[in-house]
A and B are shown apart, each in its own frame.
Chain A
Amino acid sequence: DGGITQSPKYLFRKEGQNVTLSCEQNLNHDAMYWYRQDPGQGLRLIYYSQIVNDFQKGDIAEGYSVSREKKESFPLTVTSAQKNPTAFYLCAAEGGYSNQPQHFGDGTRLSIL
């Protein structure tokens, strides 16, 4: 079954702690994205990667880090520098060509303990 798998579905972070959100895809797509969604809001781009071993900051990258060591995987680390991390995090993948839609995972909801 092709798609985007995000884990865990729910995550809790203690103050001063880094946490890593997993995103795996088996669609063989080159481009992958991380978005943050706050209640009642649209999606804001955190980081994106168009190819393995390369990634770019989005609009709200501060306090976040990513890696892209494999085509299938694009983990997001929410660092202790992110002071307001409570949000719904969505990962997406796209074929990397013009006029292609993005395919989304089912998200990870991060909360602060």
Chain B
Amino acid sequence: SQQGEEDPQALSIQEGENATMNCSYKTSINNLQWYRQNSGRGLVHLILIRSNEREKHSGRLRVTLDTSKKSSSLLITASRAADTASYFCATLTGGYQKVTFGTGTKLQVIP
């Protein structure tokens, strides 16, 4: 089964609104990463948050991590049509570099 589970599976918002996506995982992690995937393309790394960090910002992106609840959230503020994509969380666990991806949230931003 997947280590990470994103919620919701799909999200549709108007341009200018904020979008929030959640990720829950099952086992202890070294770090958690968020990626974006445009249709038919590869994944693009957005933010990496380490297990000892609680919040991280990058431009219009804000990621939080709650290790006690084994969950993370990705907030995109003032969304744009170009933000339309699928968003995946990925967790790094164990002593070797094995990253496990969740099932993704499909975001649609309506102009």
A interface residues (Cβ-Cβ under 8 A, vs B)? 4, 6, 31, 33, 35, 41-45, 48, 50, 88, 90, 92, 94, 96, 98-107, 109
Q: Is the CB of B97 within 8 A of A31?
A: yes
Q: Is the CB of B97 within 8 A of A105?
A: no
Q: Is the CB of A45 within 8 A of B30?
A: no
Chain B, residue nearest A48 (CB) = B98
Point out the residues of chain A lying under 8 angstroms from B44, CB to CB: 104
Q: Is the CB of B42 within 8 A of A106?
A: yes
Which candidate, B12-20, B60-68, B69-77, B100-108, is the interface stretch facing chain A?
B100-108
Point out the residue from A35, A50, A99, A104 that lies within 8 Å of B48, measured CB to CB: A99
Give Cα A4 to B45, complex, Å: 13
Point out the residues of chain A lying under 8 angstroms from B48, CB to CB: 99-101
Point out the residue from B42, B99, B103 that lies within 8 Å of A4, measured CB to CB: B42
By Cβ-Cβ distance, the 7 closest A-B pairs, closest first, are: A104-B42, A101-B45, A43-B101, A42-B103, A42-B101, A104-B43, A106-B42
> Is B33 located at the chain interface by the 8 A CB criterion?
yes
Point out the residues of chain B lying under 8 angstroms from A6, CB to CB: 42
Point out the residue from B31, B98, B103 that lies within 8 Å of A99, measured CB to CB: B31
Could you list 13 A-B pairs, sorted by A, with CB under 8 Å? A42-B101, A42-B102, A43-B101, A50-B96, A90-B43, A98-B31, A98-B97, A99-B30, A99-B48, A102-B33, A103-B45, A104-B43, A109-B40
B residues 31-54 with Cβ under 8 Å of A?
A: 31, 33, 35, 40-45, 48, 50
Tell me, rounded to whole Å, the shortest Cβ–Cβ distance linking A66 to chain B: 16
Tell me, rounded to whole Å, the shortest Cβ–Cβ distance linking B96 to chain A: 7
Q: Is the CB of B99 within 8 A of A102?
A: yes
Q: Is the CB of B103 within 8 A of A41?
A: yes
> Is B88 located at the chain interface by the 8 A CB criterion?
yes
Tell me, rounded to whole Å, the shortest Cβ–Cβ distance linking B36 to chain A: 11
Tell me, rounded to whole Å, the shortest Cβ–Cβ distance linking B32 to chain A: 11
Query: Given known contacts A43-B88, A48-B97, A101-B48, what 13 new A-B pairs fall within 8 Å (CB)?
Result: A31-B97, A42-B88, A42-B102, A43-B101, A92-B43, A98-B30, A99-B30, A99-B48, A99-B50, A100-B48, A102-B99, A104-B42, A107-B40
